Structure 1
Amino acid sequence: YGIRGIVTDSITGNPIKAKVEITNHDVDSSHVYSNLPIGNYHRYLYQGNYSLTYSKNGYYPKTINATILNNDIVIEDIQLLPFGNTNSITEIATSKSNKIINIDILGRESKTNKIKLIKTKEGTIKKQITIN
């Protein structure tokens, strides 16, 4: 019972050794690490709702919420994004409302992240997001 999975690099897909800790639960430093060469981890947990944070130097941490049931195993495979990667995402909005609800950008503080919005002749919005 508990939670298990594999932690990998989101760019290369290679397994990584990452720290897995549970928010407001690991007061006795009972966190675990994913193991190489596979990147697998396993954490025994009783029934309940948990917030888990996966971290490694050189990577952005990732936090998820998981619900554990008695005598059940939850599988969560996690991908961590390494610092310093540049990604460009282009998406065509099909709505003609010209409203953007929310855009979250994750990038390096020392770099410039850009959002470019272009209204096409057809009335759709083309969003280009550059993440440094």
Structure 2
Amino acid sequence: MDLNLTPYLQEKLKQAQTIQQQLESVISQRYQFDLKVKEISKTLEELGKLEEGSGVFKSVGSILIPVKDVNMLKKELEEEKETLEVRIRTLEKQQKMLEDKYKEIQEEFSKAYGKGQSG
């Protein structure tokens, strides 16, 4: 369907498509970070249930190595979780900004296209 769009509207359409792609990327990253936070939370929960002296292993690449200091491992996991949570908050803000911009472009497009149809 050829809409005979003005150069202005063609540009707005391109902007909307770019924003949509960026939104998909942000949402995907956020989803991955959410999964990682849940995984870390579950790991920390299980580490909390261990009896003193229980053997714990950490995955490094494709091998498992024994952990000598479980408390240090817990600290590393807590720090990683905090970092991911900060990234998630940043992505949430970015997602909101992109959604607002997309909506704004949609409204501009509707208004401009509506004028073109009635003129």
TM-score class, shorter-chain normalisation, is under 0.3
Choose 1 or 2 for highest CA Rg. 2
Task: Answer 1 or 2: which has greater strand percent.
Answer: 1
Task: Answer 1 or 2: which has greater helix percent.
Answer: 2
